[in-house]
Each structure stands twice: as C-alpha cells, then as structure tokens.
Amino acid sequence: MTIDYSEKIPNNVDLAHDRTLQRALEHWQPHFLQWWHEMGPSDFEKADVYLRTATSVDAQGWATYGAVKMPEYRWGIFLADQQPGRTIGFGDRMGEPVWQQVPGEHRSTLRRLIVTQGDTEPASVEQQRLLGHLCPSLYDLRNLFQINVEEGRHLWAMVYLLHAYFGRDGREEAEELLARHSGDADKPRILTTFNEPISDWLSLYCFTYFTDRDGKYQLKSFAESAFDPLSRTCRFMLTEEAHHMFVGETGIGRVVKRTLEVMKELGTDDPAKIRAHGAVDLPLLQKYLNFWCSSSLDLFGSEISSNAATSFANGLKGRPDESQYEDHVLRDVVLKLDTPEGTQDVPMLNALNEVMRESYLKDCEIGLKRWNRAIERAGHAFRLTLPSSRFRRSIGSWVGLPVDPQGKLLPKDEYERRLYEWIPSPEDRAFVKSLMQKVVSPGKMAAWIAPPDRGINNLPVEYEYVHLA
C-alpha cells in the first residue's frame, strides 16, 4: 500500500477510515512535536538537512531525498505489506493463523514489550541531543539528524500500535513515552544503556554500532511475532535501522583509518604521541568498544529467563531469523550454559536471551574483522576485540563479578584497580571530548577521522548536507 502524504499524519494504514484512532493520534502529534522541540537536536531547527523520507515500504526505492527542516519532517505510520495466509512460525501454536488483534491473555505482556521497545527510540534522540555542536563534518551531522528523525519515527511506529490495539492503557503509555527522559533522576528511560550520556562522536559511533544492533535483533525477533501488526511494523523499521548501523561501522572504520595514517606519519604506535597529534590511539578505541559492547549486551536480559520462554512459547517473540532453525517449538532441547558455578544444562526455551546474545555477538564480529584487516594491512600487530560477555554484566548469572574483558575471574581489588585499563577513564573521556571541535565547512573533516569513501545518495562527500541557517 502506498503512503498517503496528503494526510496530517502520513500513513499506509488507511487512517482516514478510522476516525477515532485518527483523532487520538492527531491529539498525540503536537505532544510529540513539542517533545522534539525540547528534547530533540538542540539549535538546528532552522537548518536545511538533506534527509531521506519513506515513500513506500518495499525494499526497492523506498525513500526520497531532499532538504528538510527537521521540525517539518513528515513522521508517519508505515507498516510492511501484509503477507496473505501468514501463520505463526514458532512456539506452541505454530501453524495457526497469525493474529490481527491482541488476544486478551497476552495483552499485558505485549504492551510491556512494545512500551520497552518504544522507550528506546526517543531515548536515543535525547542522548544525542547536543552532539550536533561537536560534529566532525557536515556529512556526519546529516547522518546524526537522519538517525534522530528516524528514531522519532520508530516512536511513532510503537505509539501507533499502542493507540490502535491497547485502548486507554495504550494511550496512557504513549503519553508516558514522552514523559520519561534519558538520564532523568526522577523519570529515567526504562533501560540503563539508554540513560548513558553520549557526549562525543566516538561514543555515537559505538552506540550506533552496538546499541542500534541490539535494536536490530529485538526488531528481528518481533518481526517473527504472531501479532501481525507488530511484525509488519518492525519489518519496515529494520529497513530504516540498517543505515544507523552503517553510520557506526563506517564511523569507527574512519577513525581507525585516520589513526593508521597518523601512526604512519609519526612512525610510532605510542598512544601519547598519537594523542598529542590529535588522533584516537587504538587502545583507547578498544576501551570504547569494551564499554559500549558490554553495556549493550545487558539489553538482551538474563541468560536464564522464564519471560523469554513464555514469550516464545506463546508466539509473541521469536528468534531473529526464526526460519533458519529446524526446531521451532524447543520443548525437548537443552543448552549448555557457562555460569560462575560451572556448566549448566538449561532448557533451551529458558535460554533464548543467550541464544540471541550469541548471534548478536557474531554479527558484531563482522565490523571488527574489517577494521582489523585495515590494521593488519598497515603492518601493525594490534587487533581490536570484543569483550567477553561475562565482562561488566549488570544482569544475569555473571552480574557484578570481577571479570576481565577476556572473561577471566579476578580478585575484586585487582579488578577495581585495573578497570580503567579496559573502559574509558575520566581522563580518556576528557581527551576524546577535547578532540570534538565542530567542523562545518563542506567537505572538511575533523583531524581525528578520515573522510567517508562516498557521500549520501551518490552525492559527493563535499556536498553541503546541512545548510546552517
């Protein structure tokens, strides 16, 4: 179905034929815009930004590009097309037709899952609100704003589900999504990672690499859901999400590239000399990877989870790419799980968070291989790695244990003494912050990052992606 842009709220769900729902969402719309004004990117409301806007939901040619002022972005409701005859692909009710309405017995669980997902979308916009002032180039500034408006749209996607399928509770939850704020002492966002400040661009690239990728895995598991409107919503969100991870992967890649140039220029890998030259030494980058990867791993939840088991058995949330597995019911399978007490046999249904975390980590490896190839080609022995999933856990069986990034249990005092060998120290953060000088002449890059290989939508890197008012 094509997207109707003549409506106040662009949509492909035939909103015009449901007056009650349309009125309710039109009532929420000004609250969203007010939130954007107060909590979205600060001070760039008058700038013309070269943004993409969805025009259809099929994979080919789904977006158009053009200069837009962010407050005028057409946020809307876009669901992937319905698949005729779709049946439940996993769990105890596998093979039955999918649901077009929420079954009463799953109502509160589904609402909680949708609210938790929805909460992350505006949270990330809030976390990134001040970054525009420190951008390394107009190209990067445009990418930041593209991500921000799309996370705003992802909030719309979840709010639509809440309004359309959860009645009054849903409408109240939609208001709450605008009332909680990232890092707020009284009303923080639901998940810890989304309350971490993102005050430099190295953190942004790590966040979009690791945390948006968690988002990808959550959306993939919802795309399998028996609740069809949720599945269709998340399928289209995944199309937009790919760009966010691209920004992370190429961003870190460009930092590595620049650092290697500086190492070659100076003929040294001494971190102090590289820092003095205004670049990010590789051990420092490793600390940022350790921090954001371990923080994002918590988002998958406890290794052993009865909630995950119930959601799967009931058909609410599948595994990412469910069809690639052979067994979709998992009643008679166990998983061997590494715990501090030794290896345990856990019913597979209860270990699904861990299954998801493992496939996520495999996906994370892809970028590392690419960056390490660049380091290897430059003739250096240093390799970037992912931290062990036992490192710095604040949830699950390894919670709070003094484990190093290699997964080794240490005496507590040694762990505390050495923590800043593994994650950024306040001095490291201050150094990275000192690199963040705003660069806004077209085609110019900050000294700590290499230019991208190509521009957006086949335009040159020098294009004026943001026209500052």
CB-wise, 209 or 312, nearer to Fe ion? 209
For position 212 contacting Fe ion by CB under 5 A, the verdict is: yes
For position 173 contacting Fe ion by CB under 5 A, the verdict is: no
The whole-angstrom separation of Cα 114 and Cα 122 is 13
CB-wise, 159 or 260, nearer to Fe ion? 159
**C-beta separation of 252 from 293 below 8 A:** no
For the CB of residue 133, give the shortest distance to Fe ion in the complex, in Å: 21
- Looking at 49-57, 62-70, 207-215, 323-331, which segment touches Fe ion (CB under 5 A)? 207-215
For the CB of residue 152, give the shortest distance to Fe ion in the complex, in Å: 9
For position 154 contacting Fe ion by CB under 5 A, the verdict is: yes
**C-beta separation of 199 from 177 below 8 A:** no
For the CB of residue 284, give the shortest distance to Fe ion in the complex, in Å: 25
CB-wise, 90 or 145, nearer to Fe ion? 145
Q: Residue 7, Cβ neighbours under 10 Å: how many?
A: 16
Q: Residue 434, CB half-sphere, CA atoms under 13 Å: how many?
A: 12
CB-wise, 212 or 249, nearer to Fe ion? 212
The whole-angstrom separation of Cα 166 and Cα 153 is 19
Total site size for Fe ion, rule CB under 5 A: 6
**C-beta separation of 87 from 96 below 8 A:** yes
Residue 467: in which H helix or E strand, if any? strand 466-467
The whole-angstrom separation of Cα 403 and Cα 412 is 9
Show the CA angle centred on residue 248, arms to residues 244 and 254, nearest 5°.
Answer: 135
Among 83, 161, 102, 156, residue whose Cα is nearest residue 316: 102
For position 52 contacting Fe ion by CB under 5 A, the verdict is: no
Alpha-helical regions (H) of 128-137: none
- Looking at 119-127, 158-166, 337-345, 426-434, which segment touches Fe ion (CB under 5 A)? 119-127
For the CB of residue 220, give the shortest distance to Fe ion in the complex, in Å: 13
CB-wise, 127 or 294, nearer to Fe ion? 127
The whole-angstrom separation of Cα 209 and Cα 216 is 11
Assign 3-state DSSP to the chain and report helix, strand, coil percentages, each to 5.
55, 10, 40
- Looking at 52-60, 154-162, 223-231, 299-307, which segment touches Fe ion (CB under 5 A)? 154-162
For the CB of residue 64, give the shortest distance to Fe ion in the complex, in Å: 20
- Looking at 105-113, 116-124, 436-444, 460-468, which segment touches Fe ion (CB under 5 A)? 116-124
Q: Residue 249, Cβ neighbours under 10 Å: how many?
A: 20
Tell me, residue by residue from 236 to 255, as one string, x for binding to Fe ion by CB under 5 A and - for no binding.
Answer: -----x--x-----------
CB-wise, 140 or 241, nearer to Fe ion? 241
The whole-angstrom separation of Cα 465 and Cα 441 is 10
For the CB of residue 154, give the shortest distance to Fe ion in the complex, in Å: 4
CB-wise, 152 or 253, nearer to Fe ion? 152
Instruction: List contacts with Fe ion (CB under 5 A).
Output: 121, 151, 154, 212, 241, 244
